[in-house]
Structure 1
Amino acid sequence: MTNAKVHAAPAVADLEGDLASLRGDCARMAPHWSAPDRLTPRPVPPSHIHGVSVPASSARLLEAMSDYGD
């Protein structure tokens, strides 16, 4: 079954800017994207680390794939 609806492609942004305009855009956005002063990662106890379970059908699919593509 296919989707019969056709969507118009979004308008392409003007990519003809120079480095100065890009830096100006970044400077204007910087206050909106503040980062915490310092993050210190907490160690994870081994009891919280669990294995990954994969359904047999997915495992067979992945096993049949080549590592780097064809």
Structure 2
Amino acid sequence: MVGAGIDPAPGSPGDLLVLATDGLHVPVSAADLAELLTEGPSDPQELADQLLDLASAAGGEDDVAVALARV
């Protein structure tokens, strides 16, 4: 089953929108994600690559998809 939802959240210019499958957020802790998102590279491609590497290093066995966008 596929689900979708809309979560209206306030955003500010420069905020980073992260869309990811459970292949990222299941094996990786929220604390580790927050650390990489706040202290990682500013280049979206480099950050996406590091997020994928983080999921793999955490033992993730599911496929991972990540999309990043600056608001």
- Normalising by structure 1, we get a TM-score of 0.23
| Greater Cα radius of gyration, structure 1 or 2 | 1
Greater strand percent: which structure? 2
The higher-RCO structure (CA 8 Å, 6+ apart) is 2
